[in-house]
């Protein structure tokens, strides 16, 4: 205590510099606490929902013959702890969770954690390129429409994005499969790799990255070809919303005095767009991109099922239909974690480009 | 003349005529005032001089600046006039400064382009400029952002930005309206000093007649998109020859009545596109004669260097 007082008295310069770093640290600590609370809430809600649903894990998983044997059903229930009261099941789950054990999937019979490690990279391989593409295209096209406000380009973009917005992803998936696989034969029908190839040695779990790391370029090309259609569908799903949002955000910025002032300085139009318009217009876009990524992840459930893509979406779908509680909980926790991480990134980027936030 | 417009007529998209037949002149090193109520077309005239009107607007007539025909300029021509020939200070500095770009960036980006300066030379000139507009600690200011300054300081920064590429004419569109009265006096003194030091010409737009007498040599009085009276500022303000100017002066607080009571102008301003066929002020004017109702009166000489668009041009006195 006395030592710290003395130190503070001796080093006023350090004391003045202090608020900078701890500010970010305090912010991150607060976020971490919120995240832990959120994840706990997710376990409660998911547990409650699964037990409220009129259905039974035993009936969902056992064959009809097995269901006729009360001893077998009882054994099944005892095996998964379903014979215990709900609060005991919950506390037991929470206890295991605190020890890093997410339980065992009733579907695959493997630990949920290793299932997630297997399926998550597959989904990321779809979601990340889709999100990056959607952001690039959405920003460019939305900005173009705003700059050409009211002219033909703007009209085409508006009608196009409305079409994209009202196209159901499952329908689009089927159409592109029909077109590029069935009619043209230029694309594989689904899955992550053709049957002639075996998966590359696992490093990240993403086949395109792993095969490139291993120098297996034939596998790499095959994996890329398998990615094209599902990524296309997911990009379309996300880009329409982004275009509309970027357009209206940019239109608002275009009407401000500081854009007028930038033109009045004699800057070339492109410089005004790149330096003045883009920077200001991106702030709301970054905020909404967190939500867009969440929407994209939920879109993977349908897309993965149609394209036979063994990702988290397909895993979630199968677990839900089988009332496989540990898997459902695992997926829920994972998705909640992704949400909080994405929102954290959004807030950090926000502070990075807007000095009013960074300096306050 | 540095700037001379003749018969400038502006039509906004949708075909609404908002400015009619405006001829104004600004000489080198001269501070010229443009006075009028909001909606009188004074800001639109200024924006036309920088090609900043909304897309789809049309500008007719003639505008010559520094030997160039402004209305015949292409995109590149405008880029070289804007900032380096004519620059602009806006009403609200908070809205006119980019919130996410540092003062240094906003101060040097066009300077480097127009003057061909290196990054270092531009920064040196930026420090000089901030010093010139009396901003303390210029080095630190360059790294700061607009939100870190008060309104008055922001307007000083905006003026420094407007002057950065050495323009010959500065258009100041109500630059003190959004500021406190005490801060306002500082900005006016700054503009006047800059004119004395650098020979800058200023077109000063305001609705505040008190500001005009403090700063400008000549004044144009705008109403409904027309110039109704022009002449040396002291003469126009003390012995107006157009009933509208007199009414405007009477409507000023602590004005002509001497009682301090506010004297509103009867009737309401003209709605663009629904102007009467004659003088736009005729419906509100107690001096109106038949000639006022048929066609808008032309500006006619009423004294040395003085013109009023009024066939009556009564001798009016404003007792301060």
CATH code where residue A320 lies:
1.10.3720.10
**Beta strand B31-35 pairing with B58-65:** unpaired
Residues of A in contact with B147 (CB under 8 A): 355-356, 359
Task: Give how many domains chain A has, as a whole number.
Answer: 2
Supply the pLDDT for residue B270.
Answer: 79
Residues of A in contact with B82 (CB under 8 A): 263-266
Q: At residue A21, does pLDDT exceed 60?
A: no
Q: Quick one: A179 and A322 in the same domain?
A: yes
Supply the pLDDT for residue A199.
Answer: 86
The CATH number given to whatever domain includes residue B46 is: 3.40.50.300
Q: Which residue has the higher pLDDT, A89 or A263?
A: A263
The CA distance from A268 to the nearest CA of chain B, in Å, is: 7
Angstrom distance (rounded) from CA B217 to CA B196? 13
Query: Across the interface, do A265 and B87 touch by the CB < 8 Å criterion?
Result: yes
Supply the pLDDT for residue A243.
Answer: 94
Supply the pLDDT for residue B78.
Answer: 94
Residue range B232-247, pLDDT digits in tens: 999 999 889 999 998 8
Q: At residue A321, does pLDDT exceed 90?
A: no
Interface mutation target, options B99, B105, B161, chain A, most CBs of A under 10 Å: B99
Query: Across the interface, do B96 and A257 touch by the CB < 8 Å criterion?
Result: yes
Given pLDDT bands bounded at 50, 70 and 90, which one contains residue B209?
confident
Angular region, B37: left φ>0, alpha ψ -120 to 50, beta rest: beta
In a domain, A74, yes or no: yes
In a domain, A30, yes or no: no
Residues of A in contact with B107 (CB under 8 A): none
In a domain, B316, yes or no: no
Supply the pLDDT for residue B319.
Answer: 56
Backbone angles phi, psi at B9, to 5 degrees: -130, 125
Nearest partner of A272 among B227, B95, B106, judged by Cα: B106
Supply the pLDDT for residue A20.
Answer: 53
In chain B, whose CA is at the least distance from the CA of A351?
B100
Query: Across the interface, do A265 and B109 touch by the CB < 8 Å criterion?
Result: yes
Could you say which of A264, A353, A356 has the minimum Cβ distance to residue B88?
A264
Task: Give how many domains chain B has, as a whole number.
Answer: 2
Could you say which of B80, B102, B158 has the minimum Cβ distance to residue A266?
B80
Given pLDDT bands bounded at 50, 70 and 90, which one contains residue A17?
very low
In a domain, A107, yes or no: no
Residue range A91-132, pLDDT digits in tens: 888 888 888 888 888 888 899 999 999 999 999 999 999 999
Q: Quick one: B73 and B185 in the same domain?
A: yes
Could you say which of A256, A258, A265 has the minimum Cβ distance to residue B82?
A265
In a domain, A168, yes or no: yes
Q: Quick one: A83 and A213 in the same domain?
A: no
The arithmetic mean of pLDDT across residues B208-226, rounded, is: 91
B238 touches chain A (CB under 8 A): no
In a domain, B317, yes or no: no
In a domain, B320, yes or no: no
In a domain, A155, yes or no: yes
Q: Quick one: B205 and B239 in the same domain?
A: no
Supply the pLDDT for residue B255.
Answer: 47
Q: At residue A12, does pLDDT exceed 50?
A: no
Q: Quick one: B231 and B138 in the same domain?
A: no
In a domain, A283, yes or no: yes
Q: Quick one: A95 and A119 in the same domain?
A: no
Q: Quick one: A188 and A272 in the same domain?
A: yes
Max mean pLDDT among A51-55, A83-87, A297-301 falls in A297-301
Q: Quick one: B194 and B141 in the same domain?
A: yes
Q: Quick one: A119 and A77 in the same domain?
A: no
Q: Quick one: B225 and B208 in the same domain?
A: no
Q: Quick one: A116 and A97 in the same domain?
A: no
In a domain, B295, yes or no: yes
The CA distance from A280 to the nearest CA of chain B, in Å, is: 7
Domain boundaries, position B259: 221-308
Cα A324 from chain centroid (whole Å): 22
Could you say which of B87, B97, B105 has the minimum Cβ distance to residue A258?
B97
In a domain, A11, yes or no: no
Could you say which of A264, A353, A356 has the minimum Cβ distance to residue B87?
A264
Residues of A in contact with B79 (CB under 8 A): 266-268
In a domain, B243, yes or no: yes
Q: Quick one: B140 and B117 in the same domain?
A: yes
The CA distance from A241 to the nearest CA of chain B, in Å, is: 25
Q: At residue B266, does pLDDT exceed 90?
A: no
Angstrom distance (rounded) from CA A257 to CA B94? 9
Q: Quick one: B129 and B169 in the same domain?
A: yes
- Mean pLDDT, chain B, whole residue set: 89
Supply the pLDDT for residue A349.
Answer: 87
Q: Quick one: B95 and B163 in the same domain?
A: yes
Q: Quick one: A315 and A174 in the same domain?
A: yes
The arithmetic mean of pLDDT across residues B302-316, rounded, is: 89
Residue A28: CB atoms within 10 A of its CB come to 12
Query: Across the interface, do B82 and A264 touch by the CB < 8 Å criterion?
Result: yes
Q: Which residue has the higher pLDDT, B93 or A22?
A: B93
Nearest partner of A230 among A268, A180, A182, A195, judged by Cα: A180
Element containing residue B223 per DSSP (H, E):
strand B218-223
Supply the pLDDT for residue B53.
Answer: 92
* Domain end marker among B157, B185, B216: B216
* Domain end marker among A39, A66, A101: A101
Residue range A40-65, pLDDT digits in tens: 998 899 888 877 777 777 777 777 77
Could you say which of A261, A266, A355 has the minimum Cβ distance to residue B79?
A266
B148 touches chain A (CB under 8 A): yes
* Domain end marker among B216, B239, B255: B216
* Domain end marker among A66, A101, A136: A101
Domain boundaries, position A91: 55-101
Residue with tokens 């003639």: B62
Q: At residue A27, does pLDDT exceed 70?
A: yes
Taking only residues 277 to 306 of chain A, the set having a beta carbon closer than 8 angstroms to any beta carbon of chain B reads 279-280, 283
Could you say which of B79, B92, B158 has the minimum Cβ distance to residue A268?
B79
Q: Quick one: B192 and B251 in the same domain?
A: no
Supply the pLDDT for residue A134.
Answer: 95
In chain A, whose CA is at the least distance from the CA of B108?
A265
Residue range B31-54, pLDDT digits in tens: 999 998 888 999 999 999 999 998
Output helix, strand, coil percentages for chain B, rounded to the nearest 5: 35, 20, 40
Residue range A254-292, pLDDT digits in tens: 999 999 999 999 999 999 999 999 999 988 888 888 889
Q: Quick one: B38 and B177 in the same domain?
A: yes
Supply the pLDDT for residue B59.
Answer: 95
Q: What is the pTM of this model?
A: 0.81
Q: Quick one: A126 and A256 in the same domain?
A: yes
Given pLDDT bands bounded at 50, 70 and 90, which one contains residue A189?
confident
Backbone angles phi, psi at B303, to 5 degrees: 175, -175
In a domain, A71, yes or no: yes
Angstrom distance (rounded) from CA B311 to CA B289? 8
Q: Quick one: B227 and B210 in the same domain?
A: no
The arithmetic mean of pLDDT across residues B279-291, rounded, is: 89
Q: Quick one: A93 and A221 in the same domain?
A: no
Residues of A in contact with B146 (CB under 8 A): none
Q: Quick one: A135 and A91 in the same domain?
A: no
Q: Quick one: A239 and A95 in the same domain?
A: no
Residues of A in contact with B78 (CB under 8 A): 266
In a domain, B318, yes or no: no
Q: Quick one: B240 and B187 in the same domain?
A: no
Residue range B108-166, pLDDT digits in tens: 999 999 999 999 999 999 999 999 888 999 999 999 999 999 998 999 999 999 999 99
Residues of A in contact with B87 (CB under 8 A): 264-265
Q: Quick one: A152 and A242 in the same domain?
A: yes
The arithmetic mean of pLDDT across residues A170-178, rounded, is: 89
Q: B229 by DSSP, 3-state: which?
A: strand
B73 touches chain A (CB under 8 A): no
Given pLDDT bands bounded at 50, 70 and 90, which one contains residue B251?
low
In a domain, B315, yes or no: no
Q: At residue A13, does pLDDT exceed 50?
A: no
- The two tokens of residue A15 are 């004391």
Angstrom distance (rounded) from CA B48 to CA B78? 11
Q: At residue B253, does pLDDT exceed 60?
A: no
* Domain end marker among B216, B249, B280: B216
Supply the pLDDT for residue A71.
Answer: 84
In chain B, whose CA is at the least distance from the CA of A261?
B96
Residue B220 DSSP symbol: E
Supply the pLDDT for residue A360.
Answer: 63
In a domain, B296, yes or no: yes
- Mean pLDDT, chain A, whole residue set: 85
* Domain end marker among A74, A101, A128: A101
């Amino acid at each position: 205590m006395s030592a710290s007082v003395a130190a503070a008295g001796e080093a006023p310069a350090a004391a003045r510099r202090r608020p900078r770093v701890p500010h970010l640290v305090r912010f991150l600590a607060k976020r971490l606490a919120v995240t832990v609370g959120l994840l706990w809430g997710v376990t409660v809600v998911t547990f409650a929902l699964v037990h409220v649903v009129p259905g039974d894990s035993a009936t969902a998983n056992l064959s009809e013959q097995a269901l006729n044997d009360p001893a077998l059903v009882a054994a099944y229930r005892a095996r998964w702890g379903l014979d215990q009261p709900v609060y005991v099941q919950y506390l037991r789950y929470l206890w295991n969770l605190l020890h890093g054990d997410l339980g065992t999937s009733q579907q695959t019979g493997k630990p949920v954690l290793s299932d997630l490690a297997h399926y998550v990279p597959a989904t990321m391989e779809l979601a990340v390129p889709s999100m990056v593409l959607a952001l690039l295209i959405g920003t460019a096209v939305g900005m173009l429409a705003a700059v050409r406000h009211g002219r033909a380009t703007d009209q085409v973009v508006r009608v196009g994005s409305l079409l994209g917005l009202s196209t159901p992803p499952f329908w689009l998936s089927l159409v592109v499969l029909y077109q590029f696989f069935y009619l043209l034969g230029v694309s594989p029908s689904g899955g992550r790799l053709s049957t002639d190839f075996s998966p590359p040695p696992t490093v990240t779990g993403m086949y395109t990255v792993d095969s490139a790391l291993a120098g297996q370029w034939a596998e790499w090309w095959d994996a890329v070809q398998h990615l094209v259609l599902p990524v296309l569908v997911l990009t379309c799903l996300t880009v329409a919303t982004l275009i509309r949002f970027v357009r209206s955000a940019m239109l608002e910025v275009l009407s401000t005095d500081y854009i007028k002032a930038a033109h009045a300085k004699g800057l070339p139009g492109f410089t005004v767009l790149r330096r003045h318009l883009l920077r200001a217009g991106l702030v709301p876009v970054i905020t909404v991109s967190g939500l867009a990524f969440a929407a994209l992840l939920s879109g993977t459930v349908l897309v993965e099922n149609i394209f036979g893509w063994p990702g988290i979406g397909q895993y979630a779908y199968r677990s839900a239909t089988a009332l496989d509680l540990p898997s459902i909980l695992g997926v829920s926790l994972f998705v909640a974690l992704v949400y909080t991480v994405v929102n954290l990134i959004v807030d950090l980027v926000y502070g990075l480009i807007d000095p009013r936030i960074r300096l306050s | 003349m540095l700037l001379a417009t003749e018969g400038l007529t502006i039509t906004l998209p949708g075909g609404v005529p908002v400015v009619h037949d405006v001829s104004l002149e600004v000489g080198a090193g001269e501070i010229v005032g443009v006075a009028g109520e909001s909606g009188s077309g004074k800001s639109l005239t200024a924006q036309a001089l920088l090609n900043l009107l909304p897309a789809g607007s049309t500008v007719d007539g003639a505008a010559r600046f520094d030997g160039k025909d402004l209305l015949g300029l292409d995109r590149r021509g405008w880029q070289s006039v804007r900032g380096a020939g004519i620059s602009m200070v806006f009403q609200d500095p908070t809205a006119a400064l980019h919130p996410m770009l540092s003062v240094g960036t906003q101060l040097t980006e066009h300077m480097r382009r127009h003057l061909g300066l290196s990054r270092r030379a531009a920064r040196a000139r930026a420090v000089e400029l901030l010093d010139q507009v009396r901003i303390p600690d210029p080095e630190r200011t360059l790294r700061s952002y607009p939100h870190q300054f008060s309104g008055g300081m922001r307007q000083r920064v905006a003026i420094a930005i407007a002057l950065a590429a050495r323009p010959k004419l500065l258009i100041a569109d109500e630059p003190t309206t959004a500021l406190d009265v005490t801060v306002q006096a500082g900005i006016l003194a700054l503009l006047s000093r800059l004119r004395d030091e650098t020979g800058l010409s200023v077109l000063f737009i305001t609705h505040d007649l008190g500001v005009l007498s403090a700063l400008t040599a000549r004044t144009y009085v705008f109403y409904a998109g027309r110039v109704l009276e022009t002449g040396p500022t002291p003469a126009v303000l003390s012995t107006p020859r157009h009933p509208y100017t007199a009414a405007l002066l009477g409507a000023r607080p602590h004005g002509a009545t001497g009682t301090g009571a506010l004297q509103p102008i009867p009737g309401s301003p003209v709605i663009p596109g629904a102007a009467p066929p004659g003088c736009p002020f005729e419906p509100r004017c107690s001096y109106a004669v038949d000639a006022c109702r048929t066609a808008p009166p032309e500006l006619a000489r009423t004294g040395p260097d003085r013109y009023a668009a009024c066939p009556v041009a009564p001798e009016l006195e404003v007792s301060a």
